Amino acid sequence: MKRNLIAVIAFMTSMWAFAVPPGTNDEIDSRLQPFGEVCRAGDDCATAVASISSGPMNGQQVYDKFCSVCHAAGVGGAPILGDTAVWESRVAKGMDALMVSTLDGLNAMPPKGTCMACADDELSGAVTYMLDQL
3-state class (DSSP) for residue 13: helix
11-15, 17-21, 55-59, 75-79: segment of lowest average pLDDT: 17-21
- 126: burial class by Cβ within 10 Å (0-12, 13-18, 19+)? buried
Domain layout of the chain by residue ranges? 2-52, 59-132
pLDDT over 70 for what percent of the chain?
86
59-132 CATH choice from 3.90.170.10, 3.40.50.11810, 1.10.760.10, 3.30.70.260: 1.10.760.10
pLDDT band, residue 30 (cuts 50/70/90): confident
What angle, 0 to 180 degrees and rounded to 10, lies between the N-to-C axes of helices 95-104 and 120-132?
A: 120
3-state class (DSSP) for residue 105: coil
Question: Which comes out higher in pLDDT, residue 119 or 16?
Answer: 119
pLDDT band, residue 43 (cuts 50/70/90): confident
pLDDT value of residue 57: 94
Q: What is the pLDDT of residues 76-117, one digit of tens each?
A: 999 999 999 999 999 999 999 999 999 999 999 999 998 999
DSSP string, 28-82: HHHHTS-S-----TTSHHHHHHHHH--S---HHHHIIIIIHHHHTTTGGGPPPTT
